[in-house]
A = this chain, B = another copy of it.
């Protein structure tokens, strides 16, 4: 049903908590970004090297559903699935589950495009290949 193709474990760090004693809403985007970049690395693409070569992965849209707050000392896993969407866009589905019980903490849908010189390009082959792998 949800064939995640990549996952990355994290622990909440205390500086990420706010006065409510929960992870601040913005910090989840940090977790998601880090997991996406590590996913790209796992298929042979390095975000920083791409940037030096003139290609950037640019986020167009993010939808976040906060299901259950992460608290101090929580461990959790970000699970990632990606799909191509038309010629240039691709979509990351990223869900966060608390450990060890796997309670859903956050559901995210992130739409991105690769850009070179300010113009959208077809995703690099590594991405296309990786996405092909997941949709078959």
Contact = CB atoms under 8 A, between A and B. Distances in A.
Nearest to A41: B73
A48 B17 CA distance: 10
Interface residues of A, number: 33
Interface of A: 13-15, 17-21, 24-27, 29-30, 33-34, 37, 46-48, 51, 56, 58-66, 72-73
Given A13-B30, A15-B34, 12 more contacts: A13-B33, A14-B34, A14-B37, A14-B47, A15-B33, A18-B19, A25-B33, A25-B62, A29-B29, A61-B64, A61-B66, A62-B66
State the number of copies, please. Answer: 4
B59 A66 contact: yes
